[in-house]
C-alpha cells in the first residue's frame, strides 16, 4: 500500500496526533514540536484524502469485526472536507499555542492532552459506526477535562473542568440510549446515512440530549463559561471545530433518518438558545465569557437549520464558524496575554497598541455579524434563507433577533477594545501568536467565495432568499450601531441577575439541571445504601450458616470416623471368626468324615465280625470301670 492510498491516509489522519500525544505523555518535556508535527501530519493526510476522493469518491477501512458487525473508518467528500477543516484550525491553534504556552508550567500537561483531543475529533468525523463514534466522543470528553484543568493549581480551573465533564457526562446518556435504539431499529452498527427508514422519535430525542450537552444548548450552556478557566488555545479549539461542534455534526450526519417530530424539537431548542445566549453575550463584561455565550448562540442557529430541514445551511455555518470563532478566541487571548485579564474594564484601549491583533479580531467579528464579503455573510445568508423557506414565522423572528444580537455583542467588544487609555504592553512570543491568528483570518477573508461550492459538492442544498438577505443586512448594521453605543445601564440589575443565574424561568438551570441531577444522585445513593445493606445481610447470613455448617461438618466427620473405626473393628473380628472358628468347624467336619470312613470298614454286615467288635468294646469298658474302682 503506497503513501497516497486513501486507506493509508484514513489511518494517518488519526495516527499522527495520537503518536504526538504518546510522545508528549512519555517524555513529558513540554516540547511543542512533536505536536506541531502531529497536527501538520494529520492536516497533510487530510488534504491528500480530500484531493484523492474528489466529489464522488469514498474510502473505507474495516478496523474490527465481531460476528456480523464491524467497526470501520469511512470518508466521502464531506467528511474529508471536515477533517481538513479540523486539521487547518488545529494547526494554526497549535502554532499560536507554541507562543502562548512557551513559559507556562502547565505545558507538559497541555501538549499531550491537546494532541489527544485532535486525534479524538478526527476519529469521530471518520467513524463509520457507532462504536468508533462513541469512542472518539468519549476520548474527546476526557481530553477536554484535562485541557480545561491545565492550570489545575487554580480553583476556577478545577471547577470549570469538573463542571464541563459532569454536565457533558450527564447528557452523554442520550448518546448511548439513542445509539442503542438506532442499532436495534436498523440491525446494524453502521451510522445510517439514507432516509429510507426513520429512527424512532425516542431515539432522536435521546440523541438530541447528547447534542445539547456537547454543543452547549439551553439549558446545558453553563459549562462553556466554566471552560474559559483553561488556556485560550483550549477555548479556541473547543469552541470552533471540535468538541462543541461534534454534537451539531452528529445531527447533520443523521438528518436523513430523523423523524419530523424530532426535527421540531431540535428547532425549538435552537430558537431558545439563539435568543437566551445572545442576551447573555450582550450583557457579558468579560471578552471570553462573551465568546462562550456567542458559541452557544451560533450553534443554536445550526440546530434551527437542521430542524427546519436544511442541513446544507447548517453545514455551511459550521464550516464558517470554525474559522471565525477560533480567530476571535486567538485575538482575545493576545489581549489577555497583554493585560493579564479578560474583563473589558481591564482591556480598554488594548486595540490601539495591538492594531494587527485588533484588526484581525475585527475582521472575524464582522464576519460573525454577517458583513459581506466575509465568510460569515454567506453562511448567515444561507441560514436565514432556510428559515424563510420553511415559512415558520416564530423561527424567522427568532433568527432575525439573533442576527441583531450577534452584531450588537460584536460591536460592543470592538468598542471596549478600542476606546480607553492604556499603556503599551510587552508581549513575548507575539509573532507566533499573530501567525496563528492571521492564518485563520486569511480564510475568514476569502473562504466565503468557496463556501457555496463546497456545500453543494457534498450533495447538500445551499438555500438562497432575497428578502431574508436584505433583512439580515439591515439588522446587522443596526446591531453594530447598537453595540457601539451600548451602555451597561441599559439592562436592569434584575435582568443581569437573571442572566447570571442562567434564566431562572421555571427554576432555570438550577431547577432543570442541578436539582434533578442532585435528586438522581440522592436516589442512586439511597439505592446504593439499600443494596449495600442487602449484600451485608446476605454476607452475615452466609457467615452464620457457614459457622453452623462448620459445626455440622465436625459432627459428621466424627460420626463418619466412628463408623469407619467400628467397621474396621468388625472386619477384624470377622476375620478372626473366619480364621479360627470356621476353620475349627471345618476340622470337626473333616475328622468326622475321616472317622466315619474308618468306621465304615468295621460295618461289613458279617455277624461274627460285629460280635467280635462288641466283645472288644465290652472288655475295654470293664477295664475302665475296674481301673476306676482301684483308683478310689
Tens digit of pLDDT for each residue in 340-370?
Answer: 889 999 999 899 989 999 999 999 999 999 9
In a domain, 165, yes or no: no
How far apart (Å, rounded) are the C-alpha atoms in residues 472 and 364?
18
In a domain, 216, yes or no: no
If one counts the domains in the chain, the total is 3
127: left (phi over 0), alpha (psi -120 to 50) or beta: beta
Contact 194, 256 (CB under 8 A): yes
pLDDT at 596: 60
Containing 27, the helix (H) or strand (E) segment is helix 6-27
Average of pLDDT values for 46-65?
Answer: 92
In a shared domain, residues 519 and 499: no
pLDDT band at 423 (very low <50, low <70, confident <90, very high): confident
- Angle among Cα 272, 273, 277 to the nearest 5 degrees reads 120
- Say yes or no to pLDDT of 252 above 90: yes
In a domain, 473, yes or no: yes
pLDDT at 2: 45
In a shared domain, residues 498 and 391: yes
In a shared domain, residues 278 and 393: yes
pLDDT digits (tens, 9 = 90+) for 111-132: 999 999 999 999 999 999 999 9
In a domain, 399, yes or no: yes
The grid coordinates of residue 598 equal 474308618
Average of pLDDT values for 42-66?
Answer: 93
Helix, strand, or coil (residue 72): strand
pLDDT at 128: 95
In a shared domain, residues 530 and 520: yes
In a domain, 243, yes or no: no
Contact 71, 62 (CB under 8 A): yes
Residue 40: name the closest of 442, 454, 439 by CA.
439
> Residue 77, Cβ neighbours under 10 Å: how many?
18
Containing 64, the helix (H) or strand (E) segment is strand 59-66
Indicate the range of 3-17, 141-155, 292-306, 536-550 predicted with least confidence: 536-550
- Say yes or no to pLDDT of 469 above 60: yes
- Tell me the residue range of the domain where 411 lies: 260-503
In a domain, 166, yes or no: no
User: Locate cell 438562497: which residue?
Assistant: 464
> Residue 543, Cβ neighbours under 10 Å: how many?
10
In a shared domain, residues 617 and 563: no
In a domain, 418, yes or no: yes
User: Locate cell 508581549: which residue?
Assistant: 427
Burial environment of residue 505 by CB neighbours within 10 A (0 to 12, 13 to 18, 19 or more): exposed
In a shared domain, residues 331 and 466: yes
Indicate the range of 264-268, 409-413, 449-453, 574-578 predicted with least confidence: 574-578
The contacts of residue 324 (CB under 8 Å, 6+ apart) are 364, 367, 368, 375, 376, 444
pLDDT at 506: 42
In a shared domain, residues 384 and 481: yes
Segments in 101-231 forming alpha helices (H): 107-126, 130-148, 155-186, 201-214, 222-227
Q: What is the mean pLDDT of the chain?
A: 87
In a shared domain, residues 474 and 494: yes
pLDDT at 587: 65
Average of pLDDT values for 428-457?
Answer: 93
Domain boundary among 503, 518, 550: 503
pLDDT more than 90, % of the chain = 59
Burial environment of residue 15 by CB neighbours within 10 A (0 to 12, 13 to 18, 19 or more): middle
User: Locate cell 439505592: which residue?
Assistant: 527
Indicate the range of 141-155, 432-446, 528-542, 608-622 predicted with least confidence: 608-622
How far apart (Å, rounded) are the C-alpha atoms in residues 298 and 321?
8
pLDDT digits (tens, 9 = 90+) for 253-302: 999 999 999 999 999 999 999 999 999 999 999 999 999 999 999 999 99
pLDDT at 526: 81
How far apart (Å, rounded) are the C-alpha atoms in residues 244 and 69?
30
Residue 329: name the closest of 284, 269, 356, 289 by CA.
289
In a shared domain, residues 492 and 509: no
Q: Phi then psi for 620, rounded to 5 degrees?
A: -65, -40
Contact 361, 327 (CB under 8 A): yes
pLDDT more than 70, % of the chain = 87
In a domain, 80, yes or no: no
In a shared domain, residues 264 and 412: yes
375: left (phi over 0), alpha (psi -120 to 50) or beta: alpha
Domain boundary among 452, 486, 503: 503
How far apart (Å, rounded) are the C-alpha atoms in residues 182 and 130?
9
In a shared domain, residues 299 and 433: yes
pLDDT band at 3 (very low <50, low <70, confident <90, very high): very low
In a shared domain, residues 298 and 335: yes
How far apart (Å, rounded) are the C-alpha atoms in residues 512 and 509?
5
Amino acid at each position: 500500500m503506497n503513501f497516497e492510498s486513501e486507506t493509508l491516509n484514513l489511518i494517518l489522519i488519526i495516527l499522527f496526533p495520537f503518536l504526538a500525544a504518546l510522545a508528549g505523555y512519555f517524555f513529558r518535556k513540554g516540547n511543542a514540536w512533536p505536536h506541531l508535527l502531529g497536527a501538520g501530519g494529520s492536516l497533510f493526510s487530510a488534504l491528500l484524502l480530500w484531493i484523492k476522493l474528489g466529489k464522488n469518491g469514498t474510502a473505507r477501512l474495516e478496523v474490527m469485526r465481531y460476528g456480523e458487525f464491524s467497526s470501520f473508518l469511512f470518508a466521502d467528500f464531506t467528511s474529508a472536507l471536515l477533517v481538513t477543516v479540523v486539521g487547518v484550525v488545529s494547526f494554526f491553534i497549535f502554532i499560536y499555542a507554541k507562543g502562548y504556552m512557551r513559559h507556562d508550567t502547565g505545558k507538559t500537561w497541555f501538549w499531550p492532552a491537546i494532541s489527544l483531543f485532535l486525534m479524538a475529533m478526527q476519529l469521530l468525523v471518520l467513524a463509520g459506526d457507532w462504536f468508533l463514534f462513541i469512542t472518539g466522543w468519549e476520548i474527546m470528553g476526557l481530553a477536554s477535562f484535562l485541557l480545561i484543568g491545565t492550570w489545575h493549581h487554580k480553583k476556577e480551573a478545577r471547577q470549570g473542568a469538573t463542571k464541563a465533564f459532569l454536565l457533558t457526562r450527564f447528557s452523554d446518556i442520550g448518546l448511548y440510549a439513542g445509539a442503542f435504539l438506532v442499532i436495534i431499529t436498523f440491525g446494524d452498527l453502521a451510522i445510517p446515512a439514507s432516509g429510507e427508514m426513520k429512527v424512532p422519535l425516542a431515539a432522536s430525542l435521546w440523541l438530541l440530549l447528547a447534542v445539547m450537552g456537547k454543543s452547549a444548548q439551553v439549558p446545558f450552556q453553563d459549562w462553556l463559561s466554566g471552560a474559559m478557566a483553561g488556556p485560550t488555545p483550549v477555548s479556541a479549539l473547543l469552541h470552533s471545530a471540535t468538541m462543541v461542534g461534534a454534537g451539531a455534526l452528529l445531527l447533520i450526519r443523521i438528518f436523513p433518518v430523523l423523524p419530523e417530530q424530532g426535527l421540531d424539537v431540535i428547532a425549538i431548542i435552537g430558537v431558545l438558545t439563539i435568543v437566551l445566549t445572545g442576551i447573555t453575550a450582550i450583557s457579558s463584561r468579560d471578552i471570553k465569557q462573551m465568546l462562550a455565550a456567542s458559541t452557544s448562540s451560533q450553534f443554536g442557529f445550526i440546530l434551527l437549520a437542521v430542524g427546519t430541514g436544511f442541513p446544507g445551511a447548517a453545514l455551511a455555518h459550521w464550516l464558517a464558524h470554525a474559522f471565525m470563532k477560533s480567530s476571535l478566541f486567538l485575538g482575545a487571548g493576545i489581549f489577555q496575554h497583554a493585560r493579564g485579564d479578560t474583563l473589558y474594564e481591564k482591556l480598554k484601549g488594548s486595540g490601539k497598541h495591538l492594531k494587527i491583533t485588533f484588526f484581525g479580531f475585527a475582521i472575524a467579528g464582522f464576519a460573525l455579524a454577517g458583513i459581506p464579503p466575509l465568510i460569515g455573510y454567506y453562511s448567515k445568508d444561507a441560514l436565514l434563507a432556510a428559515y424563510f423557506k420553511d415559512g415558520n414565522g416564530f423561527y424567522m423572528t427568532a433568527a432575525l433577533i439573533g442576527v441583531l444580537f450577534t452584531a450588537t455583542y460584536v460591536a460592543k467588544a470592538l468598542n471596549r477594545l478600542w476606546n480607553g487609555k492604556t499603556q503599551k504592553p510587552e508581549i513575548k512570543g507575539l509573532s507566533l501568536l499573530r501567525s496563528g491568528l492571521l492564518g485563520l483570518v486569511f480564510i475568514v477573508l476569502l473562504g466565503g467565495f468557496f463556501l457555496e461550492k463546497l456545500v453543494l459538492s457534498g450533495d447538500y442544498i445551499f438555500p438562497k432568499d432575497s428578502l431574508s438577505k436584505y433583512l439580515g443586512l439591515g439588522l446587522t448594521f443596526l446591531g453594530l450601531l447598537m453595540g457601539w453605543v451600548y451602555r451597561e445601564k441599559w439592562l436592569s440589575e434584575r435582568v443581569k441577575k437573571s442572566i447570571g443565574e442562567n434564566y431562572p424561568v421555571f427554576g432555570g438551570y438550577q431547577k432543570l439541571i442541578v436539582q434533578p441531577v442532585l435528586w438522581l444522585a440522592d436516589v442512586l445513593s439511597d439505592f446504593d445504601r439499600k443494596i449495600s445493606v442487602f449484600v451485608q445481610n446476605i454476607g452475615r447470613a452466609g457467615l452464620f450458616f457457614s459457622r453452623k455448617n462448620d459445626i455440622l461438618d465436625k459432627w459428621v466427620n466424627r460420626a463418619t470416623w466412628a463408623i469407619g473405626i467400628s467397621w474396621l473393628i468388625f472386619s477384624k473380628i470377622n476375620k478372626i471368626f473366619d480364621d479360627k472358628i470356621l476353620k475349627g468347624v471345618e476340622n470337626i467336619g473333616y475328622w468326622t468324615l475321616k472317622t466315619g470312613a474308618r468306621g465304615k470298614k468295621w460295618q461289613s454286615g458279617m455277624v461274627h465280625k460285629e460280635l467280635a467288635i462288641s466283645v472288644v468294646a465290652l472288655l475295654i469298658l470293664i477295664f475302665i470301670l475296674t481301673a476306676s474302682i482301684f483308683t478310689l
